[in-house]
Structure 1
Amino acid sequence: MHAKESKKPTLSFWQIWNMSFGFLGIQFGFALQGGFMSRIFQTLGADKDAIPLLWIAAPLTGLLVQPIVGYLSDRTWHSRFGRRRPFFLIGAVMSTIALFFAPYSSALWMAAGALWILDASINISMEPFRALVADKLPDSQRSYGFVVQTLIIGIGTWVASNLPWFMTQIGIPNTAEAGVVPDSVKFAFAVGAVVLFGSILYTILTTDEYPPEDLDAFKRENEESKGFINGLQEIFKNIAGMPPVMKQLGIVQFFSWFAFFTMWSFATPAITEHVFKATDTTSQVYNDAADSVGNYLGTYGLVSMFFALILAFVTSKVKINRKMVHMLSLIAGGVGFISIYFVQTPWMLHLCFALVGVAWASILSMPYAMLSSAVNPKQMGVYMGIFNMFIVIPQIVAALGGINFSYKLLFGEEVIYTMVLAGTSLIIAGLANLLITDRSATHDG
């Protein structure tokens, strides 16, 4: 633990809630993107095997954007907006616009471009939110802080994933002519855009940030190191000097995010085809089934919310072994994914995705709690951005053929085997936690 950490005051639940509330909107964007962009791609005529490639621009952009945003936010201080909040605002404006217009795409290239802009914009806001928790909380509250974020993310996942279904229930059509995205999806994305902007603005208005301890020295250091080339050199230097815990967590993250990218890319075609026997994207059967997939994805968000509530209560009372919690949670999620293959009736999918929700809650909290205890607080933003490399690299590998090659080689040609692949990957991620041995990272301070 770093010496300065002990000087940070303990914050109340509502203070942590306010500083994390913007994640509600961020997750609205991610849930709508993850749950329904593949549906949009299929509606616009994409072949199932081509779907992962249409997603590739998003993680490629994240690979570049996240470290740069983290580096810049570490070196930003505004007397009114602080260090991280300027990036919240920039990302919120761009994300809101992209989220609103994405379902109005009339061609695949437009939808892929909208996804690219949306993902890049959300990322501009997301990692500074992670860094803000580490900025404001003492080490003893880190697990608690990231778990509260996960609670808010779970709420956002559940509500946003069910929005198209809800729109259908109130009478908005969920079918349209060939090549046109249904109105239920368009309305859902519009609601998501409003929530995204409003929730991030709430955090900006209700949360203060701690200024640098020596503002003059902070300004001098930034003046000496400013410039694009100096910035890149500093980022590469930090990558080369990343702590061992970060490298070990990188292996866990690789297999975790490969699994979830597989789900986002293939859950809709896999479940609509295997469970509902529906493949015609213009049919009522397919679109009802696609709405139902949103319900199941909402289940993993809902369960992640309840699991986060349990973790929030536990971490506020006792110290936990972060590594063991994460390992068992990921293995549970892997079992949930594999179980989808054996589903006989649709309601059983809720049980499968409930297990996935346990893994999701842990993915969004435990790695960041472990990492934040192992890096220099002055470099928290850039290291949170660099850590994102271990999220986007597996997505790039998956999009470039890793999913299609792996599931067909290991299991078979049917698209449902993508869920078996996701489960296998998540179990490997869980076991990889055994590589982490640094007690200061694995246990609460």
Structure 2
Amino acid sequence: MEQPHTSSLHVETEAPEPSPLRKMVAVSSIAAGVQFGWALQLSLLTPYVQTLGVPHAWASFIWLCGPISGLVVQPIVGYTSDRCTSRFGRRRPFILAGALAVALAVFLIGYAADIGHAAGDDITKKTRPHAVAVFVVGFWILDVANNMLQGPCRAFLGDLAAGDHRKTRTANAFFSFFMAIGNVLGYAAGSYDKLHRVFPFTETSACNVFCANLKSCFFFSIFLLLVLILIVLVTVNDPQFTPNQAIQNDDVAALGSRFSCFDQVVGAFKDLKGPMWMLMLVTAVNWFAWFPYVLFDTDWMGREVYGGDVGQTAYDRGVHAGSLGLMLNSVVLALMSLAVEPLGRLVGGVKWLWGIVNVVLAVCMAMTVVISKAAEHERRHGVPVGYPSLGVRAGALTFFSVLGIPLAITYSVPFALASIYSSTSGAGQGLSLGLLNVAIVVPQMIISGISGPIDKKFGGGNLPAFVLGTVAAAISAVLAIVLLPTPKPPADGDKVAAIPAPPSFH
């Protein structure tokens, strides 16, 4: 017998009221703990994995681990958390599990060199295969864990906003703000090369000062993350989800018997409305611009700006200077995150704001070529390697700082729009944000796969990938303004409870 079409189920129960802002701030604060670890990953791990013997041209392939796992994990975790009936709530079990997985991952990454040495690596040789294997496993687990954390956290914010568009945007702006705070802490720790003295046991025969400093940074990051998550688990209520709040018992049985998680994810793609497709397209193009920067920011400082190679003092000086630049970037990111809502109103809507800052992103990415050529010109005319002029250093740090402006929008606006569009996308908060993550990780997979070989073909540097980012940023600016619809506030009485809609039956 044919089942009725139920793709836009409206719940006949009274919609919940938005939660107090303090609860949204508490949940958003988890981003600081997550991003502390990510900041270390982004600033130090590409140089670190090269010290284990992975060539620069192949280092980008290591980063394929993250997007491949994210491509699968985010939608599945989003779907499962939408329908989790645990007595601890829908989102909190995944947040706790993600935190424990992060702790395991950073242990494997930090101790990769030691574990590899114990497994038989010869530390006198350039390549240490066992250490690389442990590192890659830890990297996979870290990305899976971060997906288990960030997706449910953002979905939790959507639940707490309960359909209020302004609170949804504000909550995601606070999430972006705390990401910036985590970045500041992470990049500050990464730029300080004596942190390992707090934990003297971290330096071993297989783990040099750089490696020991990375371990020490990770110790601090996991402590911060666990404290923030404990606060949220204790203070923010996450009501137990009972399916009969939205669906009659016979419909639940039909769902359970006919639709698996994979069916739901595929069905969600089929049922996506135009606004969500447009959002995913703009997001994908935008991340083609961001990932060259994400993958090679500190490596660019070490190679192109400071003129060093991996293992040389000049390169290490550049990496630490890059960490300082990333810290300045995060300060601007934090300040800009608090201004997203008023600036959006000032320029005529968030899509205009996103388009404008993508122009800023394109200009900044193009400036990497100018800065690199200026540094190269200085070295050809007698400036020592590792000691670029004040003008070049100032230009590079300005590049990092200004990028905090578009980054604040990238960290908040797309996710807020996904939460808003989810009311018509055929998916719940968690699944909608998981689908948006697909639009983020696919570009990362492509960039990770092609940037290394392209850079090698053009001389082994990072500039070809940055030029690609310049073009993508300009395109995404146009697409954001032309394609994205302006969200309309729901009419009184149109709000529905913040629960997942079931798939349509045909």
TM-score, normalised relative to structure 1: 0.89
Q: CA 1:222–1:23 in 2, change beyond 3 Å: closer, same or farther?
A: farther
SS, match of residue 335 in structure 1: helix
- Structure 2 Cα separation of the partners of residues 419 and 359 of structure 1: 16
Q: Which residue of 1 aligns with 2:385?
A: none
Count matched residues: 440
Q: Which residue of 1 aligns with 2:401?
A: 354
SS, match of residue 83 in structure 1: coil
The two structures, once aligned, show a CA RMSD in angstroms of 3.2
Report the AA paired with residue 273 of structure 1: R
Deviations 1:84-126 (A, max 9, x none): 1111001010012212331221222222221111001110111
- Structure 2 Cα separation of the partners of residues 51 and 368 of structure 1: 29
Q: CA 1:218–1:229 in 2, change beyond 3 Å: closer, same or farther?
A: closer
- Structure 1 Cα separation of the partners of residues 9 and 158 of structure 2: 12
Q: Which residue of 1 aligns with 2:107?
A: 100
Q: Which residue of 2 aligns with 1:83?
A: 90
Q: How does 1:268-347 map to 2 (within 5 A)?
A: 268-281=298-311, 283-312=312-341, 321-343=349-371, 344-347=391-394
Aligned with 2:48 (options 27, 36, 40): 40
Q: Verify: 1:151 aligned to 2:151, yes or no.
A: no
Q: Which residue of 2 aligns with 1:422?
A: 469
Q: Which residue of 2 aligns with 1:65?
A: 73
- Structure with greater Cα Rg: 2
Q: Verify: 1:31 aligned to 2:39, yes or no.
A: yes
- Structure 1 Cα separation of the partners of residues 335 and 408 of structure 2: 9
Deviation at 1:434, TM superposition (A): 2.6
Q: Would the aligned equivalents of 2:108 and 2:134 in 1 still touch at CA under 8 Å?
A: no
Q: How does 1:10-409 map to 2 (within 5 A)?
A: 10-79=18-87, 81-106=88-113, 107-137=131-161, 138-168=164-194, 180=208, 181-210=210-239, 215=244, 220=249, 222-226=252-256, 230-281=260-311, 283-312=312-341, 321-343=349-371, 344-376=391-423, 379-401=428-450, 403-404=451-452
Deviations 1:293-347 (A, max 9, x none): 11112222221111011225667x9896010111111221222222123235213
Q: Would the aligned equivalents of 1:90 and 1:124 in 2 still touch at CA under 8 Å?
A: yes
Report the AA paired with residue 117 of structure 1: I
Q: Would the aligned equivalents of 2:74 and 2:434 in 1 still touch at CA under 8 Å?
A: yes
- Structure 2 Cα separation of the partners of residues 356 and 29 of structure 1: 20
Report the AA paired with residue 351 of structure 1: T
Q: CA 1:444–1:217 in 2, change beyond 3 Å: closer, same or farther?
A: closer
TM-score, normalised relative to structure 2: 0.79
Report the AA paired with residue 115 of structure 1: F
- Structure 2 Cα separation of the partners of residues 40 and 204 of structure 1: 34
Deviation at 1:397, TM superposition (A): 1.0
Gaps of 5+ in 1: none
Normalized per residue, which structure has more helix?
A: 1
SS, match of residue 238 in structure 2: coil
**Quick check: 163-172 or 59-68, which moved more?**
163-172
- Structure 2 Cα separation of the partners of residues 246 and 25 of structure 1: 29
Gaps of 5+ in 2: 1-7, 114-130, 372-390, 493-506
SS, match of residue 142 in structure 2: helix
- Percent identity reads 22
